[in-house]
Amino acid sequence: MADFETPELKEYPVIPHLQEGVMAHSKPFVAKEEFQESLGFPGELVDNWEQVALDKMQELTGKYRGFQVFLDSCVKCGACTDKCHYYLGTSDPKNMPVARQDLLRKVYRRNFTFAGKYFPKLVGAVDLTKEVLDDWYSYFHQCSQCRRCSVYCPYGIDTAEISMAAREIMDCVGVGQKYCNEIIGKVYKIGNNLGLPQPALVDTLEGLEEEVEEDIGVKVRFPVDEKGAEILVVTPSADFFAEPHVDGLIGYAKVFHEAGISWTLSSYASEAANFGMFIGSYENMRKVSLRIREAALDLGVKRIVMGECGHAWRVAYSFLNTLAGPFDFLDPNYPVPQHILEFTHDLIQRGALTMDKSANDDMVLTYHDSCNVARASRMGSKPGGQFTIPRDVIRASCNHFYDMPQDTIHEATYCCGGGGGLLTDDLMELRVKGALPRMEALKQVVEEHGVTHMAAICAICKSQFSKVLPYYGFTMDSIVSVHQLVSNAIVVGSKQ
């Protein structure tokens, strides 16, 4: 199955012995010229790349105050060293968050601090060489920007910000990552990560309509490009066809049907994912975000609801208004944007949906908090809503639910191992090894409570788990969408 060894699942997490350089070979394919240029980056390594990189670093420290503070304030206390799933799964010391930061920090010190300029050895400052650049390419693509380390850092240093900046610098010298940059190009050209054109999308949605009608005997609509609809739903394109994502989309449609609210998808903004964040490029993030604004204006909707996608929710929650706002043309009575879980949760709380929990009695569930939802956004009006709202909806949809150990959920959640633009087959070893801490936590509830399925609300987590669960002896279909549970439990037609 693979040319690497899958780590052994231990009863309790064990901090591994260091294995220097053991993951130095792991790097994603470099983006070809065409993918670089469509995003406004040079097609290949530019001649004076050292200077271009340093100029960009200086620009970023000036532009993003947090970035410079993070580079200046680490005291090497070590609190973050054992908090990264990639270190725990690979044993490579450069996957310790502080060591990952230092790959960039030592170049920053050499060029932008007094001590680094005059006493480089004393402060661990180094020149930017091709060897350093190669290390950046390798290890900044072994960070899923999950922010778990920042929770444990007494200074709140966020390695994700440093890894985003590093990737932006690399893009600017002509060494971008194929997976992310090719996908962003597809969004510009076609509207979604998959390159699914409008006719194929319409076809898929018609097929779903027929499938659901056959299944429950009720016509539940999956509208696309419908002008004048109340709600525009922007969801990850994986929801249009892949298991278990599509079962979630069916869940959204049934919820809208029961609520009696008109909604539509857009073929122009047929993607919630925004990989501009993964490459640290606010310019590309803005261009992708603007498509949502344009679609909302064109269709004349009053609200925007985001589907189940972790980083898309982070971008939407934290940046949509500043990148693509103001949204003063939408109904001011609703938040912009809203999450599909907030929408469904509200209906459940008001008793507007009839739920038959026994429809999910063939499953014993647990829930994986996705990093970008848990540590970079919120839901609802109360602090911690991003933890309680999904769990409330799951509990309203099934009879058997158990949380994984406390130090692996909520803000301490472990990344699935495929976030941050790393969900590509050329990084399979990293993805499998990085999933280790989550797999150990899952094993614990499987053994203690007989858990059979893990629910998630992120397209990347769902895809990643479908792929890596079998490496650890679980079946690939033990990952489910939260709205898949809603879809099974909701009694369609009961409120009409």
Give the Cα separation of 351 and 356 in Å (integer): 13
Q: How far is the CB of 90 from ligand SF4 (least distance, A)?
A: 11
157 near ligand SF4, rule: CB under 6 A: yes
* Residues within window 397-416 making contact with ligand SF4, judged by CB under 6 A: 415
Give the Cα separation of 280 and 163 in Å (integer): 8
148 near ligand SF4, rule: CB under 6 A: yes
Q: By the 8 A CB rule, do 33 and 173 touch?
A: no
For ligand SF4, the binding residue among 97, 116, 174, 248 (CB under 6 A) is 97
Measured at the CA of 138, the angle between CA 169 and CA 9, to 5 degrees, comes to 135
Q: How far is the CB of 77 from ligand SF4 (least distance, A)?
A: 4
153 near ligand SF4, rule: CB under 6 A: yes
What is the number of residues in the chain?
Answer: 496
Both structure tokens of 411: 């803000």
Instruction: Compare residues 158 and 271 and give the one whose CB is closer to ligand SF4.
Output: 158
Q: How far is the CB of 229 from ligand SF4 (least distance, A)?
A: 38
Q: How far is the CB of 485 from ligand SF4 (least distance, A)?
A: 28
374 near ligand SF4, rule: CB under 6 A: no
* Residues within window 201-230 making contact with ligand SF4, judged by CB under 6 A: none
167 near ligand SF4, rule: CB under 6 A: no
Instruction: Compare residues 163 and 484 and give the one whose CB is closer to ligand SF4.
Output: 163
Give the Cα separation of 432 and 435 in Å (integer): 5
Q: By the 8 A CB rule, do 308 and 483 touch?
A: yes
Instruction: Compare residues 15 and 77 and give the one whose CB is closer to ligand SF4.
Output: 77
291 near ligand SF4, rule: CB under 6 A: no
- Match 């949380």 to its residue by tokens: 403
Q: How many chain residues interact with ligand SF4 (CB under 6 A)?
A: 27
How many CA atoms does the CB half-sphere of 46 hold within 13 Å? 17
383 near ligand SF4, rule: CB under 6 A: no
Segment near ligand SF4 (CB under 6 A), from 18-26, 70-78, 196-204, 295-303? Answer: 70-78
Both structure tokens of 312: 């898309």
13 near ligand SF4, rule: CB under 6 A: no
Q: How far is the CB of 420 from ligand SF4 (least distance, A)?
A: 7
- Match 């996908």 to its residue by tokens: 183
Characterize 221-257 residue by residue with b for buried, 16 or more Cβ atoms within 10 angstroms of its Cβ, and e for exposed: bbebbbeebbbbbbbbbbbbbbbbbbbbbbbbbbbbb
* Residues within window 410-449 making contact with ligand SF4, judged by CB under 6 A: 415
Instruction: Compare residues 296 and 441 and give the one whose CB is closer to ligand SF4.
Output: 441
The answer to whether the bond into 332 is cis (omega within 30° of 0) is no
74 near ligand SF4, rule: CB under 6 A: yes
289 near ligand SF4, rule: CB under 6 A: no
For ligand SF4, the binding residue among 9, 18, 77, 218 (CB under 6 A) is 77
84 near ligand SF4, rule: CB under 6 A: yes
91 near ligand SF4, rule: CB under 6 A: no
For ligand SF4, the binding residue among 2, 78, 217, 351 (CB under 6 A) is 78
100 near ligand SF4, rule: CB under 6 A: yes
Q: How far is the CB of 390 from ligand SF4 (least distance, A)?
A: 21
Ramachandran sector of residue 463 (left: φ over 0; alpha: ψ -120 to 50; beta: rest)? alpha
* Residues within window 466-485 making contact with ligand SF4, judged by CB under 6 A: none
Q: How far is the CB of 377 from ligand SF4 (least distance, A)?
A: 15
Q: Which long-range contacts (CB under 8 A, 24 or more apart) does 193-200 make?
A: 193/236, 193/237, 193/238, 193/271, 193/273, 193/275, 194/237, 194/238, 194/240, 196/237, 196/240, 196/270, 197/267, 198/224, 198/225, 198/267
How many CA atoms does the CB half-sphere of 440 hold within 13 Å? 22
Both structure tokens of 3: 């040319």
Instruction: Compare residues 77 and 115 and give the one whose CB is closer to ligand SF4.
Output: 77
Q: Which long-range contacts (CB under 8 A, 24 or more apart) does 293-297 make?
A: 293/324, 293/325, 293/327, 294/268, 294/269, 295/232, 295/234, 295/266, 295/268, 295/269, 296/232, 296/269, 296/327, 296/329, 296/330, 297/329
86 near ligand SF4, rule: CB under 6 A: yes
Give the Cα separation of 289 and 438 in Å (integer): 31
Instruction: Compare residues 100 and 106 and give the one whose CB is closer to ligand SF4.
Output: 100
User: In sequence order, which ranges of 10-76 are alpha helices (DSSP H)?
Assistant: 33-37, 49-63, 65-73
Q: By the 8 A CB rule, do 61 and 108 touch?
A: yes
83 near ligand SF4, rule: CB under 6 A: yes
385 near ligand SF4, rule: CB under 6 A: no
147 near ligand SF4, rule: CB under 6 A: yes
Strand partners, 481: 456
For ligand SF4, the binding residue among 79, 216, 261, 491 (CB under 6 A) is 79
Q: By the 8 A CB rule, do 414 and 438 touch?
A: yes
Q: How far is the CB of 486 from ligand SF4 (least distance, A)?
A: 30
Site residues for ligand SF4 per CB under 6 A: 74-80, 83-84, 86, 97-98, 100, 143-149, 153, 155, 157, 159-160, 163, 415
